[in-house]
Amino acid sequence: MKIYFNGKLVDREDAVISVFDHGLLYGDGVFEGIRTYDSLVFRLKEHIDRLYKSADAISLTIPLNKTEMMEAVITTLKANKLSEAYIRLVVTRGPGDLGLDPRKCKKPTIFIIADKIALYPKEFYQKGLDIVTATTKRNLPQALDPRIKSLNYLNNILAKIDAIKSGTAEAIMLTHDDYVAECTGDNIFIVAGGELLTPPTDVGALEGITRDAVIGIARRTDVPVFEKMLRMEDVYGASEVFLTGTAAEIIPVVKVDERVIADGTPGKMTLKLWDEFKKLTKTDGVRY
């Protein structure tokens, strides 16, 4: 495996960062998870745009421009001879000292990993997921905006631990006032009254690339889709529930907090959107 590391391709064991890197010490940095399908990087421009938006939000200047960053992603994929891959692109504040002051970090660290990923077993896509509501609340957007895809993921990890303890693969995170925000690593959608609904991002959800793709598909196929504040009662009473994410893609949910959703099988709208999404992954991106 070859890793892109600060402008060079190095072997996996040589991709080593300093113990003084503020990405390691404080989670001070940003990242993107990106998918490729048959040598097409899905929505690469949108991922890179979001990376730079996140970096701007934390006053982190990336030493490459967007075109150079996209070229670095393609270079890494070609070096590893991967046509189907998951890419982890990370930019940290870089090495500094033991204090918090970001001015002590003179040069950001950039690395890109291209590998394979299977977030959920295939059977979950066919039969659906069981998930729970996390006891861990979503961070207040005014304190740490979840729309910033930062390396500080402890809030999500604690909620993931809630899922693990319950014996499930995912957990819904609620806001401090008990509105649905998102899951630990995925956005959430429900179908109710023939409408496709998802929480607005300003409630505390990431502006997901797959989320945006699904909304676009719904609009093109005349499915009424709306951002709406949701309570858990809305989720329990939905006719369909599914999650979206770069690694997860579109995965149905059939049980939440031991409550069966509708008839307990993946719904028609979920399957329709999944079919349309697969078509999109063949055309919407950068070929290499």
- Specify whether 200 is located in the same domain as 251: yes
Q: Do 6 and 113 contact (CB within 8 A), yes or no?
A: no
Number of domains present in the structure of the chain? 2
160 is catalytic: no
Q: Are residues 127 and 73 in the same domain?
A: no
Q: Using one digit for the tens of pLDDT, what is the confidence trace for 165-194?
A: 999 999 999 999 999 999 999 999 999 999
Q: Is the pLDDT of residue 146 over 90?
A: no
Stretch 89-118: mean pLDDT, rounded?
96
State whether residue 206 is helix, strand or coil. coil
Q: What is the CATH number of the domain that holds 25?
A: 3.30.470.10
Q: What is the pLDDT of residue 212?
A: 98
- 107 token code pair: 């040069």
Residue 118: per-residue pLDDT: 82
User: CA 94, 142, 100: angle at the middle one, nearest 5?
Assistant: 30
Instruction: Among 74, 100, 115, give the residue marking a domain's end.
Output: 115
Which of 45, 107, 149, 165 is an active site residue? Answer: 149
- CATH number of domain containing 180: 3.20.10.10
Give pLDDT, residue 108.
98
Boundary-marking domain end, from 64, 85, 115: 115
Domain assignment present for 288: no
- 279 and 137 in a single domain? The answer is yes
Are 211 and 89 part of one and the same domain? no
- Last residue within a domain, chosen from 68, 100, 115: 115
The residue segments making up the domain with residue 76 are 2-115
**Domain shared by 209 and 277, yes or no:** yes
